[in-house]
Amino acid sequence: MCGIGFKIANLGAGLHLLVVPIENFSKIMKLLWAEYFIFDTGTTVARASALLFYQRLFGEVQSRFTYAIWVAHILNICWMIGMHFAVGFQCSPVEKLWKPLIPGHCTSTRTLFIASGTPSVIINVFILSLPLPLLWRLKMKLVRKLLIIGVFLCGYMVVVVSIGRLVSIVKVGPNLEKDFTWEFVEPVQWLLSEIAISVFSVCLPSIFVFGRHAYHEGIRALLVNTHAKKSQFPLADSDLSGTYFSRYTKGEENELDRKPLPPPPKEAFTADSRATAYRESPRLPLPTANFSRPPSMGIVVRSDITIS
């Protein structure tokens, strides 16, 4: 959208309509027409991303919150569909938008901007207000809770920009239709800012976590995973498995053959304890011929050690 904005500026945006060539005016209107579709789609996707983020965080906490998210999704999609139809059929015939001299009629651009901005502000406020009650009920320190709520409240920047766009349209008034290339610059600047801030606001919680991780772990930790994956069974990976636990092998007669259990080290006992005897457990028969599955026989003591 910024690239389209730069192109529109080169074609004569910010100049009075009387000094803009008709071919440039046609190109400006075509680019604006395409920009409206991009803006509506991008805003809808940003809102949907925020709602999916809420669903992942709080969706399993309360069913009513899930219903509210679905209501917000429906409002968001309906807004996009309505605006696509309004922009697509602003003029009849459609080409009258960039060919003003041909017969036909067009809806006022000012009316279109107001019809887009007013429900957009309402939907943004509704979406941004959804997680606040749940965030306030989190059981954590007050300072941390306020910081988290503050991150979510930063999303209200997009509401401020939406209101600014509406104010600029109202301030321009009927002059927007009389000298379009001169008067539409400020509303379009607000429009370009709104989509950028929408995306930034949605990404803000992730950016906060990203920055905290970079602060504690360093920039390199963001690019390469330097932490080795630890086993879920530490005893199996340690040297203790070969010292204190005997190994089972499959015998020729479908029995468990065991290697001798080595004596435990003296450091394993306290000064008041002394190992007097240790013996091997009896051999255990395999329940089935399939040795890949361990015998289901409850708790089995592999070795008996008598301590006195």
The predicted model scores a pTM of 0.65
- Of residues 269 and 57, more confidently modeled: 57
pLDDT above 90: residue 65: no
Sequence spans of domains, the chain: 1-221
pLDDT digits (tens, 9 = 90+) for 184-224: 888 888 888 888 888 888 887 777 777 777 777 777 766 66
pLDDT digits (tens, 9 = 90+) for 36-50: 999 999 999 989 998
pLDDT digits (tens, 9 = 90+) for 108-164: 888 888 888 899 999 988 988 888 888 778 787 888 878 777 777 777 788 888 888
What is the predicted pLDDT for the residue at 84? 93
Which string of b and e fits 73-97 if b means at least 16 CB within 10 Å? bebbeebbeebeebbeebbeeeebb
- Of residues 18 and 275, more confidently modeled: 18
What is the predicted pLDDT for the residue at 307? 56
pLDDT above 50: residue 240: no
What is the predicted pLDDT for the residue at 171? 86
Cα dihedral sign, 160-163-169-173? negative
Alpha-carbon gap, residue 35 to 4, rounded angstroms: 7
pLDDT digits (tens, 9 = 90+) for 165-184: 888 888 887 888 888 888 88
Residue type present at position 27: K
